[in-house]
Homo-oligomer: A and B are copies of this chain.
Amino acid sequence: MENFEENRVAKSRSLAKMQSLERYSLHSYVFNYIRDAILNGRYKPGDALVETRLADELGVSRTPIREAIRQLELEGLVISIPNKGVVVSGVSQQDIDDIYTIRSMLEGLAARWAAQRIDEPNLKELEEIVELMEYYTKKNDFEQLTQLDTRFHGVIYEACASKVLKHLLDNLLRYVERARRGSLKVPMRANQSFNEHKSIFEAIMKRNAAEAERLMAEHIARAILNLHSLMEQSEERD
Give the contacting residue for A98; candidates B27, B76, B162; CB below 8 A: B162
A151 to chain B, nearest CB (A): 22
Give A27 to B66 CA distance when docked, in angstroms.
Answer: 11
For A23, list chain B residues within 8 Å (CB): 82-83
Q: Which of A164-172, A202-210, A219-227 is found at the contact surface with chain B?
A: A164-172
Give A102 to B166 CA distance when docked, in angstroms.
Answer: 11
Q: Which of A51-59, A67-75, A126-134, A187-195 is found at the contact surface with chain B?
A: A67-75
Give the contacting residue for A24; candidates B75, B82, B168, B175; CB below 8 A: B82
Give the contacting residue for A67; candidates B67, B164, B168; CB below 8 A: B67
For A109, list chain B residues within 8 Å (CB): 101-102, 105
Give the contacting residue for A164; candidates B24, B68, B99; CB below 8 A: B99
Give A109 to B100 CA distance when docked, in angstroms.
Answer: 12
- Residue A12 lies at the interface, judged by CB distance under 8 Å to chain B: no
For A66, list chain B residues within 8 Å (CB): 63, 67
- Residue A106 lies at the interface, judged by CB distance under 8 Å to chain B: yes
Give the contacting residue for A95; candidates B73, B95, B105, B164; CB below 8 A: B164
For A95, list chain B residues within 8 Å (CB): 162-164
**Contact indicator per residue, chain A 196-214, by CB within 8 Å of chain B (1) or not (0):** 0000000000000000000
Copies in the complex: 2
- Residue A25 lies at the interface, judged by CB distance under 8 Å to chain B: yes
Give the contacting residue for A70; candidates B70, B102, B168; CB below 8 A: B70
Give A105 to B104 CA distance when docked, in angstroms.
Answer: 11
**Contact indicator per residue, chain A 68-101, by CB within 8 Å of chain B (1) or not (0):** 1011011110000011000000001011001101
Give A67 to B175 CA distance when docked, in angstroms.
Answer: 22
A residues at B contact (CB < 8 Å) = 23-25, 27, 63, 66-68, 70-71, 73-76, 82-83, 92, 94-95, 98-99, 101-102, 105-106, 109, 162-165, 167-168, 175
Q: Can you identify 24 A-B contacts, CB atoms within 8 angstroms?
A: A23-B82, A23-B83, A24-B82, A27-B70, A67-B67, A70-B71, A71-B71, A71-B74, A74-B75, A92-B163, A94-B163, A95-B162, A95-B163, A95-B164, A98-B162, A98-B163, A98-B164, A99-B164, A101-B109, A102-B106, A102-B165, A102-B168, A105-B105, A168-B168
Given contacts A23-B82, A74-B75, A102-B165, 14 further A-B contacts (CB under 8 A): A23-B83, A63-B66, A66-B67, A67-B67, A68-B70, A70-B70, A71-B74, A94-B162, A95-B163, A95-B164, A98-B162, A102-B168, A105-B105, A168-B168
